[in-house]
Amino acid sequence: MFYLERLPCPVVVTNCNGHVLHTNRDFRQLVAPENCDYLDSYFPPASRIFLHSYAWPMLLKNGEFSELYLQLLTTNGQLLPVMTNARISQTESEQVVIWVFFVAKERQRFEAELLKARQHAQETALQLTEVNAELQYANAQLSEYAQEARIKADKFAHLSLTDPLTNLGNRRALTRNVKQWMLTANSQSVSSLLLIDIDFFKQINDRFGHAEGDNVLRNVAQRLLDSARAQDSVIRHGGEEFALWLPNSDLEGATRAAKRVHQHISRIQVAGESITVSIGVSSMALNGHEAGILLEHLLAQADIAVYEAKAHGRNRTICFADQSQPSCVGSDKGEGKALAESAHSLPGIHRLNGRF
Amino acid sequence: MGIIQRNNVKQLPHANPDAPITIYAHGFGCNQDMWHLLTPEFAATHRQILFDYVGSGRSDARAFDALRYSSLAGYAQDLIEVCDALCLSKDVIFVGHSVSCSIGILASIQRPDLFSQMVLVGPSPCFLNDPPAYSGGFERADLEGLLALMDQNYIGWAEYFAPVVTGSQADSPITAQLAGSFCSTDPVMARQFAQATFFSDIRQELGRCTTPSLILQHRRDTLVPLPVGEYLNTHLKHSVLQVLDVTGHCAHMSHPDQVASAIRHYLSGSDSCVLP
């Protein structure tokens, strides 16, 4: 007992029920000057719970435990951090538990810091996870917007290149196709253009209404597509005027195409009468022109030719040929019965000499 | 993964396959080894089943799901799944300690036929004071202090600092030195069990429990004051309260003979009620 009394650390001896049998001098000085009945009284609630849910079962199972961190409650209300060892020993009369406490103020301080750092790291990790989730959400939204924007852009691009009534390309689309063709063409490459004007279209509109007029336009568009090759471009040039552009085709090829167009169009009937068209043909070598210039020339020449075709009684094809080009070969005339009274078949495809 | 392996289920050998079946559920901070002084008392008369909750003892830590085990319902699911895995659907005698009493009550509400009787050693439906009607024994600050204390005790555990890096402890291996320890296999899981245990409140559920029960209340228990046992006895149907003249919270370890005789008396008494 002498040595227990003078051990340089607080010591308590209890029975196996936690009833206090002895305390030593250090314990009385540091914790409580008077003995309590039960060990529990020396601990604050949190340590009491830990003692009973953890320390006592371990003690009863293994006969001892070591290095448990607990807090003692001093008589002046202070919490004293301690590392605790305890062991059950058999004395002559009964089993006792010896509890030894090592005051761990310093240790508690830096361990508290460590825990704070851990908590901070945990919070940071959590924040990072949250930020990451937000970023992912924003990213997903951005992709969605981009997708929408792409769809809209495609739609606008389509609209900007398309005539909404016939779904054919427009002048812009034709320019684009010519430009694409020029990427692979050389300066000798020839292309031709058919300018196709529906005869007496105004009368169709006047007599049968605009709905029927639109119907005719759609039918003509379809027939033109039927007469075109895969590489050709059919566009609605405006009003009742269409253009068929034939890359790598000379005047001869274009003339054949014009014949096909006349045949196809003649199958369209309004009130039992066939539709006819007047066609102006032009043909040009590339000769270093830009796409826009080439098209302008082709259209201007074809326009003159159409005008001639109209002037010569409609339902026919006239080829524009300048001095440098050979004369138009072959001849053609529109087929079928013309719609208007004044329409009458005139023979042949005619060569138009001239310049603009 | 099999439930038997997951929950480290052990059946103590018994000659008679038709003997009544007892399942033991350990409390917080412990594992099935805590029953080692009580089970010999029933070796001759009962088929006895022991298990560890996921996160405790030698359970498979890989099965730990932070969400599932954040409330007692997750642990009750463990208990039910162990019974299912053993094809036990009725007439099981349940013996639980401390928080496992609440877990057993929750399981019995889900499966009213599963347990024929429940023995509740040191039960508490709620550790928190809820004045003026209820006095669980602790203030919220006390229980938060407990968690801080646990943190401090786990500092030596390398695993405790691992989750910060990995964000999850589900795949952490159970180290050999920890597998042999008396407490949880992992400090993070232990902390979760502590949180589920000490912050739970099943008082509203008590009325839904129809299984007869024996409440074994310790006379001097700093964890569960006497009035808590009385509260339970009032609110549980078909319950019997017996106060053991014991100090502490683990009578089945400190006074296994007293607990054994109380259980034996209870089981035989209720048997005689059933018999003509």
Contacts of A112 in chain B (CB under 8 A): 152
The arithmetic mean of pLDDT across residues A83-94, rounded, is: 92
The whole-angstrom distance between A146's CA and the closest CA on chain B is: 33
Tens digit of each residue's pLDDT (9 = 90 or more) over A225-279: 999 999 999 999 988 999 999 999 999 999 999 999 999 999 999 888 899 999 9
pLDDT at position B222 is: 87
pLDDT of B180 strictly over 80: no
Q: Give the three-state DSSP class for A115.
A: helix
The arithmetic mean of pLDDT across residues A326-333, rounded, is: 39
Contacts of B30 in chain A (CB under 8 A): 53-54, 57
Minimum Cα–Cα distance from B151: chain A residue: A115
Q: Which candidate, B30, B60, B45, B104, places its Cα nearest to that of B253?
A: B30
pLDDT at position A104 is: 87
A57–B30 C-beta distance less than 8 A:
yes
B248–A52 C-beta distance less than 8 A:
yes
A42 touches chain B (CB under 8 A): no
pLDDT at position B50 is: 97
Q: Which domains does chain B have, with CATH numbers?
A: 3-274 (3.40.50.1820)
pLDDT, mean over chain A? 86
pLDDT at position A350 is: 55
B 113-172 near A (Cβ less than 8 A) = 127, 138-139, 142-146, 148-153, 155-156, 160-161, 163-164, 167
d(CA B6, CA B63): 7
What is the radius of gyration, based on Cα positions, of chain A?
51
Residues of chain A with CATH 3.30.70.270: 171-353
The whole-angstrom distance between B270's CA and the closest CA on chain A is: 30
Residue of B85 and A161 predicted with greater confidence: B85
A57–B250 C-beta distance less than 8 A:
yes
Residue-wise DSSP of B204-215? GGGGG--S-EEE
Contacts of A121 in chain B (CB under 8 A): 164
Q: Which of B100, B128, B155 has the highest number of chain A CBs within 10 A, making it the mutation to test binding with A?
A: B155
* Residue A282 dihedral angles phi and psi, to the nearest 5°: -135, 155
Q: Which of B28, B37, B150, B152 has the highest number of chain A CBs within 10 A, making it the mutation to test binding with A?
A: B152
B27 touches chain A (CB under 8 A): yes
Return the CATH class of domain A171-353: alpha beta
pLDDT of A181 strictly over 80: yes
ipTM for the assembly:
0.80
Minimum Cα–Cα distance from B29: chain A residue: A54
The arithmetic mean of pLDDT across residues A204-219, rounded, is: 92
Of A45, A61, A70, the CB nearest to B34: A61
A52–B143 C-beta distance less than 8 A:
no
pLDDT of B1 strictly over 70: no
Residue-wise DSSP of A62-111? HSEEEEEEEEEE-TTS-EEEEEEEEEEEE-SS-EEEEEEEEE-HHHHHHH
Q: Which candidate, B46, B56, B63, B3, places its Cα nearest to that of B26?
A: B56
pLDDT at position A334 is: 44
Q: How confident is the model at residue A332 (pLDDT cuts 50, 70, 90)?
A: very low
Residue of B168 and A137 predicted with greater confidence: A137
d(CA A229, CA A334): 20
A125–B152 C-beta distance less than 8 A:
no
pLDDT of B18 strictly over 80: yes
Lowest mean pLDDT, pick from A4-18, A338-352, B42-56:
A338-352
Per residue in A169-199, is it b (16+ CB within 10 Å) or e — as a string? bbbebbbebbeebbeebeeeebbbbbbbbbb
Q: How confident is the model at residue B177 (pLDDT cuts 50, 70, 90)?
A: very low
Residue of A76 and A330 predicted with greater confidence: A76
A2-103 folds as: Beta-Lactamase (3.30.450)
In terms of phi and psi (left: phi > 0; alpha: psi -120 to 50; beta: otherwise), the region of B76 is alpha
Quick check: is B249 catalytic? yes
A9 touches chain B (CB under 8 A): no
A 49-88 near B (Cβ less than 8 A) = 49-54, 56-58, 60-62, 67-71
Asked if B182 and A61 count as a contact pair (C-beta separation under 8 A), the reply is: yes
The whole-angstrom distance between A81's CA and the closest CA on chain B is: 10
Residues of chain A with CATH 3.30.450.20: 2-103
Asked if B228 and B124 count as a contact pair (C-beta separation under 8 A), the reply is: yes
pLDDT of A344 strictly over 50: no
pLDDT at position A19 is: 93
d(CA A55, CA A42): 15
Lowest mean pLDDT, pick from A10-19, A339-348, B29-38:
A339-348
A53–B247 C-beta distance less than 8 A:
no
A45–B34 C-beta distance less than 8 A:
no
B223–A19 C-beta distance less than 8 A:
no
pLDDT of A69 strictly over 60: yes
